Structure 1
Amino acid sequence: MSAIEVKTANQIFMNNFRLIFASLIISLAITVNAQPKETDPFNHLPVVKEPVFKNDTLSILKYGAVNDGVTLNTIPINQAIAASSKNGGGVVLIPEGMWLTGPIELKSNVNLHLQKNALLQFTKDLNQYKLVEGNWEGVAQMRNQSPIWANDEENIAITGYGIIDGAGDVWRMVKKDKLTESQWKARIASGGLVNEEKKIWYPSEKTFKGAAMKDPGLITPNKSAAFYDSIKDFLRPNLLVLNNCKRILLEGVIFQNSPAWNLHPLLCSDLTVRNVYVKNPRYAQNGDGIDIESCKNVLIEGSTFDVGDDGICIKSGRDAAGRKRGIPTENVIIRNSTVYHAHGGFVIGSEMSGGAKNIYITDCTFIGTDIGLRFKTTRGRGGIVEGIYARNINMKDIVGEAILFDMYYAAVDPIVLSGEKRVAPQIKVVPVTEETPIFRDFHISNIVCDGASKAIFIRGLPELSISDIYFNHLTIKSKEGIDLQEAKNIQLNHINLIVEQSKPPIRIQNGNNVSYKNLDPATRSLLIK
């Protein structure tokens, strides 16, 4: 082979090699680009279906409802709802005025619509609420019939501009320490009873009797109808209970003054809560705003909560009953909402035995709540809470912790009342079983808090730590900083703590793999000290 032929062969070989190498590079680039990239979970939110109704409108006036605040309109309102549903549904209209009523049952394909200046006032006559088998704090119990309720219905709504009032004060016991002196005196003057310590007022003998028992409403074979009747007043209903319903809309209405929880969707799917105002007195025992229990596909937006207990709360059953049910609350979106007074702004637990996952809370404001983000449970619950995403939360004047994870929940108010004494939980190791709750995989970012007692408190169990919590871009002004106990795989990234006390801003007890990245210089200098 001549020199020219050798050179030509070499050129051909090199050209082919370049083509093969270039093809490999392109193929590799395509393969790399084809790999799934980490995406913002808020870009892939669950879809929540809304109900659709016929245009037909039926006024309760057609069935003889009387606007005088005295006449009981239970029958005409329920007749209008039943007739509308039977005819394919539509709007049942509550005109402006005060409409006194007993319990109302929602039916499929009906939109109960309140006009402006309409007040749907539930009666204070407790005899109008019959005892029924219901659910309380995740367990099957006898309860008084809820003012508004539905079982196994679909395509239902409560909309409009009016007010729904549950007459809660006639039901509730009240702690003296939650009232002013004049309010307390007014309660005593109204009748009822007080306990031996003169610290709690009860509206009736039946309430007083029930309060002295443990789980008196629990359904057991040895309890007779006469027994339940003897404590009937204690078995307070939730204002609105929707059980196993589909495609629900609550929009525009004010829900207030509930005997117990305000809004309680249970085992529901495709629930939309939009632009509602939920309020209870600050002294309202168990006066939660909304408790979403074992539900799937939920959207809460543009709403305001100012209540006596937890504001927006996620639940899924209690202890063995919740684990047996085994239905988590999942695919929940909470956005553009405000919580004023509440034990917690956004809360998961403590009854979360069926689990909770894929919860998204964004662009919300908490003002004056006891705790901002509150995640609570205790031994015996079991259940897994995971895949929780909270971002863009503004907080102001938080009484306790801005962010709290606690596996020692003891069914008491988060803030110690004046003169109240509490004993710290006994720390001991017990075997991990199905009763051991699990908190993991929380993503909390873009939090601004102006004022709290403590920035972050995490308290896991010695047998099973709270794990995999990712904090990113937090600015918190508080008396104390961060307290981590029995926690692992905790990431603190872009944290700015402005603490008043001279204690170390970050305290770790039995922590594992706690990392700090990009701490604000002021926070870093506090750590160095």
Structure 2
Amino acid sequence: MKTAFLLSLAACLGHATCAQTPAALPPVKTTAFRADTFSIARYGAVGDGQTTNTAAFQQAIAACASKGGGVVLVPPGQWRTGPIELQSNVNLHVATGALVQFSERMADYKLIKTNWEGLAAVRNQPLVYGKNLENVAITGRGILDGAGEAWWMVQKGRTPESDWKKLVASGGALNEKQDRWYPTAQALKGTTVKEAGVLTPEKPNIADFEDIKDYLRPDFLVLDGCRRLLIEGVTFQNSPAWTVHPLLSDDVIVRDVRVINPPYSPNTDALDLESCRNGLVEGCSFTAGDDGICIKSGRNEQGRQRGVPTENFLIRNTTVYRAHGGFVIGSEMSGGARNIYATNLTFIGTDIGLRFKTTRGRGGVVENIFIDHVTMKDILNEALLFDMYYMIRDPSPQVPGSKERPASPPKPVDESTPQFRKIYISDVTCNGAKTGIMVRGLPEMAIQDIGIKNAVLRSEQGLICIEADRISLKNVALLSTQTDPVMEVHNSRNIALDGIRYAPGAAVLLRVSGPEKAKSITLTNTDATKARQALELGAGTSKKVVTLPRK
């Protein structure tokens, strides 16, 4: 198997197709359940939309587990409940016509020690939770509704005036600017606390966070430290925070799952695979208020100490309609990510398409990522983004009216320096984006070994490549409306631009700058005569660092 993977990687380095690379992944161990069925109705549950059925859910799950496992059936009806805790060998089956409505009462959820955005933290318990389980599933064609509107902050600028007035009149609390509404004064107070909910030596206990409990929104589904998981067929909607969150789990299958969260619901990632090994995601449909498909592995020193990458995943045949990013790695990737294959993805209306994000302090290595056959439409910002300055202001902003980028001093390289390398993308189309491709590494750590081939990207800007090494574009159409330049390469080396297509009449095809770092930039199999100027050099940059096609 190791040999097969190395052969696949070699093929990608040679710009051959990566379609066969998933064969290198280890098989995913699957779930299996006894045929015995335990209907929650047998334990007193009433599906009238009024009765609270928390005890009935837990009694059915406990009975099922005690008999060696099986299926806990949620039949058609509207079933109100508080948080649910799963057990090993239990398949919670939400039947077609069943709506599981989680409680909107914050008091129904207790604070627990858990993990949030890659750090040890205190949060309200997840709506559905399992820890250290084996052979567990949530299946069926029913709907689980998280009542997230009871927890979310609402921004005035994103809300119709009539709805805003009704919201304010209903109670809750407003911030000082009167432009953000919070469901309770506790929820508002949480915004004033730095790293709210994060466990520290000064705040090591759950009781230390009771005064901001309402701010610490729960995730929808968390399966922590589990093995052999199946999430199939169900719809999750209106999550208070992250939606489907396998954590430190092995052999994960997410199949035919729908996530529906409103566009401005905060932190409602659809799927977060955090420090998980061996899995399959397929046939899903996601709409979220934050990222869609997310690969994570812990944040900063805690993530590095955990040292568990997300690895060996195949993600395919999935659509993300509205989200911050369609397919995302980071920014909490301090434990690394590797051997991930994604194919047949569609992004419609996401802020960013393929999104790789990190920043100084994270550390971690993201490598051996293979993506092909991606279709995008109406992307708000970048179609393809590799960014090591996530949530940080541009370190070298351009002076208005100048094309020169000011110097950005490097910092020492240590374990907190993140790395992106060996990422290969092919067969991509994007109809509408602000920027086709943006690569922005650190002065002390270039983004390395990125291969993009067979792409058609219609956008305002074409390529922006900063602090990069060994970047290859082959058979890429950059159909940008801003053509001064079509491609910008700054402080980068070993850049191969092969078979580039662009709109005729471009002002400048390629601009190269960075006299100290620019090296070995080649443009081949490209008709540079269609541009008014083929090459523009930044101040002090030698023409010798660039090789243009022969006329």
Q: Residues 99-178 of structure 1 correspond to what in structure 2 (within 5 A)?
A: 99-178=79-158
Letter in 2 for 1:398: I
Report the CA distance between 1:460 and its aligned residue: 0.4
Task: Give me the whole-angstrom Cα distance separating, in 1, the residues matched to 2:200 and 2:289.
Answer: 30
2:480–2:502 CA contact under 8 A, matched in 1: no
* Partner secondary structure for residue 501 of structure 1: coil
Deviation at 1:425, TM superposition (A): 12
| Aligned equivalent of 1:90, options 67, 70, 77 | 70
- Report what 1:369 is aligned to: 350
Which residue number corresponds to residue 32 of structure 1?
none
Shift of 1:219: 1.6
Alignment of 1:390-401 (within 5 A): 390-401=371-382
Q: 1:405 aligns with which of 371, 383, 386?
A: 386
Q: Deviations over 1:107-131 (max 9, x none)?
A: 1111100111100010011111011
Q: Which amino acid aligns with 1:362?
A: T
CA contact (8 A) 1:107 1:150 kept: yes
User: How far apart are 1:48 and its partner, in Å?
Assistant: 1.4
Q: Is the Cα contact below 8 Å between 1:179 and 1:283 reproduced in 2?
A: no
Matches within 5 A, 1:38-437: 38=10, 40-223=20-203, 225-410=206-391, 427-437=408-418
Deviation at 1:520, TM superposition (A): 2.9
Contact 1:261 1:290 in 2 (8 A): yes
Change (3 A) 1:193 1:250: same
Tell me if the contact between 2:324 and 2:350 (Cα under 8 Å) persists in the aligned partners: yes
Q: Secondary structure at the match of 1:372?
A: strand
Q: In the superposition, relative to structure 1, how do residues 144 and 425 fare at CA in structure 2: closer, same or farther (>3 Å)?
A: farther
Q: Distance in 1 between matches of 2:325 and 2:137?
A: 27
- Give 1 or 2 for the bigger CA radius of gyration: 1
- Report the AA paired with residue 375 of structure 1: F
| Equivalent position amino acid for 2:224 in 1 | N
CA contact (8 A) 2:479 2:502 kept: no
Separation in 1 of the partners of 2:407 and 2:120?
A: 30
Matches of 2:29 and 2:48 in 1, distance apart?
38
Q: Return the offset for 1:203.
A: 0.8
CA offsets per residue over residues 84-103 of structure 1, 9 Å max, x none? 01111111000111100011
Cα deviation, residue 484, structure 1: 0.4
| Cα-to-partner distance string for 1:431-476 (whole Å, 9 max, x where unaligned) | 0010000000000100011110100011100011001000111100
Shift of 1:273: 0.5
CA shift at 1:226, angstroms? 4.5
What is the SS of the residue equivalent to 1:49? coil
**Pairwise CA RMSD of aligned residues?**
1.8
User: Contact conserved, 2:311 with 2:337, CA < 8 A, in 1?
Assistant: yes
- In structure 2, relative to structure 1, the CA distance for the partners of 1:425 and 1:79 (3 Å cut) is farther
Contact residue 382 and residue 438 of structure 1 kept, 8 A:
yes
Question: What SS is found at the alignment partner of 2:380?
Answer: coil
The CA deviation string for residues 158-183 of structure 1, in whole angstroms up to 9 with x for no partner, is 00011001111111112223323333
Q: Which amino acid aligns with 1:152?
A: N
* Alignment-derived partner of residue 486 in structure 2: 505
Contact 2:122 2:206 in 1 (8 A): no
Q: 1:528 aligns with which of 519, 523, 534?
A: 534
Aligned amino acid, residue 148 of structure 1: V
Equivalent position amino acid for 2:534 in 1: I
Equivalent residues of 2:86, 2:129 under 8 A apart: yes
Distance 1:521 1:456 in 2: 14
Q: TM-score normalised to the size of structure 2?
A: 0.85
Are the structure 2 counterparts of residues 430 and 187 from structure 1 closer, same or farther at C-alpha, using a change threshold of 3 Å? same
| 411 and 293 in structure 1: CA distance in 2 versus 1, 3 angstrom threshold | farther
State the match for 1:450 in structure 2.
431
- Per the alignment, residue 4 of structure 1 pairs with none
- State the Cα distance separating 1:36 from its structure 2 match: 6.1
How far apart, CA to CA, are the structure 2 residues paired with 1:96 and 1:444?
44
* Superimposed CA distance per residue, residues 191-220 of structure 1 (whole angstroms, 9 cap, x where no aligned partner): 111111222111101111111111121123
TM-score (norm 1): 0.89
**Structure 2 CA distance for aligned equivalents of residues 116 and 225 of structure 1:** 38
* Aligned counterparts of 1:350 and 1:159: Cα–Cα separation in 2: 30
Secondary structure at the counterpart of residue 346 of structure 2: strand
Check whether the contact 1:250–1:276 (CA below 8 A) recurs between aligned residues: yes
Partners of 2:124 and 2:227 in 1: CA distance: 24
CA 446–123 in structure 1, closer or farther in 2 if over 3 Å, else same: same
Mapped to 2, the partners of 1:246 and 1:396 lie a distance apart of 37
Distance verdict in 2 for CA 1:284–1:411, change over 3 Å: farther
Residue of structure 2 in register with 1:488 after alignment: 469
Q: Which deviates the most, 442-451 or 43-52?
A: 43-52
Deviation at 1:426, TM superposition (A): 9.4
Bigger helix share: 1
Could you tell me how far apart the structure 1 residues matched to 2:477 and 2:30 are? 41
Pair 1:326–1:518, CA change in 2 (3 A): same
The amino acid that maps onto 1:65 is A
Shift of 1:227: 3.5
Aligned residue for 1:260, secondary structure, equals: coil
Percent of paired sites with the same residue: 52
In structure 1, what is the Cα distance between the partners aligned to 2:243 and 2:106? 18
Specify the SS of the correspondent of 2:491: strand
| Unaligned stretches of 5+ residues in structure 2 | 1-5, 12-19, 394-404, 504-525, 536-551
